[in-house]
Amino acid sequence: MNTGESLRPAVRPPWLAPLVDNVNRVPDAYRRRVPPELRAVLAGAGQVADAARTGRDAAVLVLFSGPHVDHPPGEVPGDADLLLTVRAGTLRHHAGQAAFPGGAADPEDTGPVATALREAREETGIDPARLHPLVTLDRMFIPPSGFHVVPVLAYSPDPGPVAVVSDSETALVARVPLRAFVNPRNRLMVYRGTALRRYAGPAFLLNEMLVWGFTGHVISAMLDVAGWARPWDTENVRELDEAMALVGDDSEEPL
């Protein structure tokens, strides 16, 4: 995808190579976890938004941090991590959800990379000068917010300090160990009990957050493409509120 901005995939460390070099496979891995009837609904909603010009361009930063070292295939360094936020509970869309830092494009943004870096700085205080944008994924339409989102994969050997900048937008900022997503014990399927139809998607139950929805789907797809995924219990299906209640529950042993 041509963003008109500087992307440097060669900067990635060796352990990120299986993902970065095969990033074109991520959309298919994403779609495999989405039931065909739901894919049709999402595609239709995106087409309607395009035709009516009601969708807004947006981008998220998918930031991997860790040492620039080689590593055995299918494994990640113990100190590699992924930057996530938990959105404030007062927001209009996706309130209280774990998410990649990001948001809507501003008129002065030169493209998705600029949007992702700006939003990440505004939400987490991260220094964009420390980050290396690598590649972008195809844009995806998110019906609840009406955003056409482009995930921007980036790498930093040391991103520096991160923290909540504004508690009106963000409740939590965390660099989550990548191995926490790989760990099969932390994986489950989640569905919304309030939905007219039950569609369960991949999720991750961690100490401080439940990662589900768009973010959970993208992470699950990246694990599959990179060869980091381990066999996990896809029959462990929970209703969203039930799963959220387990966050911080030591008996569930999330890591």
Asked, for residue 35, whether it belongs to a domain, the answer is yes
Asked, for residue 47, whether it belongs to a domain, the answer is yes
Asked, for residue 3, whether it belongs to a domain, the answer is no
- Bridge partners, residue 175, by sequence: 83
Residue 35: count other Cβ atoms within 10 Å of its Cβ. Answer: 14
Which pLDDT band, with edges at 50, 70 and 90, does 254 fall under? very low
Sheet holding 210-211, edge to edge: 210-211, 201-205, 187-191, 237-239
What's the pLDDT at 240?
92
What's the pLDDT at 4?
41
**Each residue of 27-51: pLDDT tens digit?**
999 988 877 766 656 665 555 555 5
Determine contact, residues 130/120, Cβ cutoff 8 Å. Answer: no
Asked, for residue 194, whether it belongs to a domain, the answer is yes
How much is the mean pLDDT over the chain?
87
The alpha carbon of 21 is separated from its chain's Cα centroid by a whole number of angstroms, namely 18
Domains in the chain: how many in total? 1
Structure tokens at 54: 């009601």
What's the pLDDT at 253?
47
pLDDT at residue 1 is higher than 50: no
Asked, for residue 149, whether it belongs to a domain, the answer is yes
Q: Find the CATH number of the domain harbouring 211.
A: 3.90.79.10
Angle (CA) 90 94 96, round 5°: 55
Cα–Cα distance for residue pair 40/23, rounded to 1 Å:
23
What's the pLDDT at 121?
97
The alpha carbon of 198 is separated from its chain's Cα centroid by a whole number of angstroms, namely 22
Asked, for residue 1, whether it belongs to a domain, the answer is no
**Domain containing residue 119:** 9-252
What's the pLDDT at 147?
87
**Each residue of 65-124: pLDDT tens digit?**
999 998 888 899 999 999 999 988 665 555 678 999 999 999 999 999 999 999 999 999
Asked, for residue 4, whether it belongs to a domain, the answer is no
